[in-house]
Amino acid sequence: ELYSKSGGGRWLQAVISGQQSHFATAAGYSVLIDGADQLMKGVPAARLRRLYRPFERVEVYRGAALGWTSAAVQPLALAPDAIASSEGAATAQSPCPLVLPDQPQQAAAPGARV
């Protein structure tokens, strides 16, 4: 997703387009906004984030004692504090429940990796 500053700021669905420079983290990325056929060049990494789909497998850091734990992203219906966009994406306003193998649902630490 790409953060657009227009209209007070909002997240737009987008994809990183094509081969990127070895210096993309400093020089910016080439990004294609979904449905707009508009290629934006030099987009800073701070304006990009990964969109996690419902049930996608992720790892969540649960502190020094537990480390990284496998989990699955929950759909919007299970994250009542989330804000849905017109494109179907959601942004959680607080930690969302995760499904951890052989454990009851619990809130995740604010950080996930694939």
* pLDDT tens-place string over residues 60-105: 899 999 999 999 888 766 555 555 554 545 555 445 555 666 654 4
pLDDT number for residue 78: 54
pTM given for the model: 0.55
Q: What is the mean pLDDT of the chain?
A: 75
Residue 34's pLDDT band, with cuts at 50, 70 and 90, is confident
Which 3-state string (H, E, C) describes 10-78?
EEECEEECCCCCCCHHHHCEEEEECCCCEEEEEECHHHECCCCCCCCEEEEECCCCCCEEEEECCCHHH
